């Protein structure tokens, strides 16, 4: 962490200050979770306001993710939680799997997906949902590039230049592969963890009932046509419910 002054010329750089958040969870790379009444980001720092007053400034590179702490009611969560067909999913790489919608990055996605033995169609869907294919995209939370990597995640994955498409996609695909192995190829849990973090998925025993995360998982699944482990690409649509 750092105690340096937060506002200044850096505020005019890559990231515009984020609007105050009602109540968000700032998750640090060492596992600490801070509930923030407000937060503001510049290109290399985050100023966190605490619910009881006061606050502190930390290096953005130490922040693993920022999760909107809006938990939906139990009944709504039950309706909105994506429910996939009870089949085994084959998330391994297959040549020729459709990466719709088509984008200029399809060749790069194919190459990196093959490197990690991961479904290129799933990677393409994540890119579409995360950045809409914009390699210079920066979220208000500080995530960067095609696959919207936070600085701490990028550093862990050895992504030195998050705006370089090859480095960004290589790191993002590697991260998705780690999540696929951790959550046993369950697409909804992989995507929930990509958005809200592994700890949140494990804590809730499934997709966390965060409004943002529920919407994110639904969005990616609507762009992705899964392949069943049985060996065809004709599995039920990912967004279908039991």
Identify the weakest region by mean pLDDT among 50-59, 77-86, 116-125, 161-170: 77-86
Domain boundaries, the chain: 9-68, 74-223
CA 116, 118, 124, 125 dihedral sign is: negative
Q: Look at residue 242 and tell me whether its pLDDT is greater than 80.
A: no
User: Residues with catalytic annotation?
Assistant: 130
pLDDT in tens, 207-240: 999 999 999 999 999 999 876 443 444 344 444 3
Identify each DSSP E strand in the chain by its residue range. Answer: 24-28, 33-36, 38-41, 45-49, 55-59, 63-68
pLDDT in tens, 177-210: 999 999 999 999 999 999 999 999 999 999 999 9
| Residue where the block lists tokens 């510049």 | 42
CATH match for 74-223 among 1.10.530.10, 3.90.1150.10, 3.30.200.20, 2.60.120.10: 1.10.530.10
């Amino acid at each position: 962490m750092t105690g340096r002054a937060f506002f200044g010329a850096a505020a005019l750089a890559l990231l515009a200050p984020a609007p105050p958040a009602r109540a968000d969870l700032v998750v640090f790379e060492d596992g600490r979770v801070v509930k923030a009444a407000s937060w503001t980001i510049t290109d290399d720092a985050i100023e966190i306001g605490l619910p009881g007053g006061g606050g502190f400034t930390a290096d953005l590179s130490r922040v693993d993710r920022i999760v909107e702490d809006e938990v939906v009611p139990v009944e709504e969560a039950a309706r909105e939680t994506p429910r996939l067909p009870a089949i085994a999913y084959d998330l391994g790489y297959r040549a020729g799997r459709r990466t719709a919608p088509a984008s200029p990055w399809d060749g790069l996605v194919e190459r990196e997906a093959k490197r990690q033995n991961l479904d290129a169609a799933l990677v393409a869907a994540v890119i579409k949902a995360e950045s809409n294919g914009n390699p210079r995209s920066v979220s208000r939370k500080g995530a960067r590039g095609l696959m919207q990597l936070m600085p701490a995640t990028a550093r862990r994955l050895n992504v030195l230049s998050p705006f370089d498409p090859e480095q960004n996609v290589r790191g993002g695909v590697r991260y998705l592969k780690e999540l696929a192995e951790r959550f046993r190829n369950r697409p909804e849990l992989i995507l929930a963890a990509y958005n809200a973090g592994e700890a949140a998925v494990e804590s809730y025993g499934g997709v966390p009932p965060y409004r943002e995360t529920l919407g994110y998982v639904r969005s990616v699944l609507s762009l992705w046509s899964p392949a069943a482990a049985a060996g065809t690409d004709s599995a039920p649509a990912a967004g279908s419910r039991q």
